[in-house]
Amino acid sequence: MTQIPQVALIGAGYRGNAYGDIALKNPHLMKFTAVCDIRPDAVAAFASKHGIAPENCFSDSITMLNALKNVDAVVVANLDKDHEAVAVAALDRKFNVLLEKPMASTVEACQRMAEAADRNQRFLMICHVLRYTPFFAKIKELIENRTFGTVQSIRASENIGYYHHSHSYVRGNFRRLEDGSPLILAKCSHDMDILHWLTDETPLRISSFGSLKQFTPENAPQGAAERCLDGCLVEMTCPYSARRIYLGEHTGWPVSMISVDTSLEARTQAIRNGPYGRCVYHSDNTVVDRQIVGIEFTNNITASFEVHAFNKRTERHIHIGGSEGELTGCFEDGCLAIKFFDDRPDITIQIETLAGDHMGGDLRLMEDFATALRAPYGHEIRTAAQKSVTSHLMALTAEQARVSRQVIEL
């Protein structure tokens, strides 16, 4: 393929628009020529930005896939529960697919998707964007070069942030286990994938602990209303106030998620009538608000991972113990430090960060996607579905271990 790849989008939410914006800023990579979403206003907004003709705008994904012509690939960024059906349908119609994480909520579904890619001789690329970030790519390079010896253990953490967790996992689309995926998969499939990628080992045993502790009716302050704007007596001092989070001057994420129209009037109506205006203590959320996972890999490497809601800043941290030294780093700061056990001087590495989400990972992902579209059989995809099944197995096993309070053997 020599021309610019033509791409269709299914799911014009925040992540779909993030990938679309990269294409607009980098028109040499690809062009979005069709869009599908169940929300007419989301379709209209995306089509307007990308100059998509009305006949290429859809509300039903299967109708769209049957109608597509002269399209090289489909980006699937709809709700998690619909990933398998849409991705397999696209692959069976001989489209290459870029799929937002997580793949699906069962290992069997993930395997079926990978098999559909093999069966149709098309690629299914998963949006594990952390593999593409300069930060984690540098850590991978340091490990492979044995800069601080051989890896013995990894400690990693993801601090979701109080406002992010309340938006996505208390009020938002990912709040209920019954309707989607557990937190360790929906939010932390990136982190499970990175642990697997960095160790390059097979997970053997997994344990996990965690629960929904804070965001329950029992913890509601006295005077808290069902909705933030319904005369709540503590709303003005509550850090989770919908007014505080959604009705300020900022209209980017997460504010942009509650309404396609980001005017103050539209946002006010959204929190008066929609899920994002509910009190965080009176929602119908069921996912955990903190969780710890322990993993034993082959080659006697151990790893621990912690995720929780109770931080002001959204950030990831990592510590890797090596046989000759230790590495520590903060993803958002783009800084790595290596301390050696012998007389070698310590090393500080400042990682170059790129513009865009995930410290440049989204851009690098889309560049690799474009390269794969131009040479689908001569390019090794870093996040092919066949490589992602293991990390999904890790996350789902961790949830099984949490619920059963057992150590699970894989």
164-209: per-residue pLDDT in tens? 999 999 999 899 998 878 999 999 999 999 999 999 999 999 999 9
Distance CA 20, CA 27 (A): 10
- What digits encode the pLDDT tens for the residues 330-357? 999 999 999 999 999 999 999 987 666 6
377 pLDDT band, cuts 50/70/90, is: low
Peptide bond into 254 cis (omega under 30): yes
- Per-residue pLDDT, averaged over 322-326, amounts to 98
210 pLDDT band, cuts 50/70/90, is: very high
pLDDT score recorded for residue 3: 84
pLDDT score recorded for residue 361: 87
379 pLDDT band, cuts 50/70/90, is: confident
Residue with tokens 């869009």: 35
Q: What's this model's pTM, rounded to 2 decimal places?
A: 0.91
pLDDT score recorded for residue 151: 98
Rounded CA Rg of the chain: 22
Output the CA–CA distances (angstroms, integers) from residue 161 to 213, 308, 403, in the order listed.
16, 8, 24
Dihedral sign, Cα of residue 187, residue 189, residue 190, residue 192: positive
Which has the higher per-residue pLDDT, 359 or 84? 84
pLDDT score recorded for residue 206: 98
Give the residue ranges of DSSP H helices in 96-218: 107-119, 134-144, 162-165, 183-186, 189-199
Average pLDDT, the chain: 94
Q: Which residues contact 27 (CB under 8 A, 6 or more apart)?
A: 4
What are the phi and psi torsion angles at 304 (to 5°)?
-130, 150
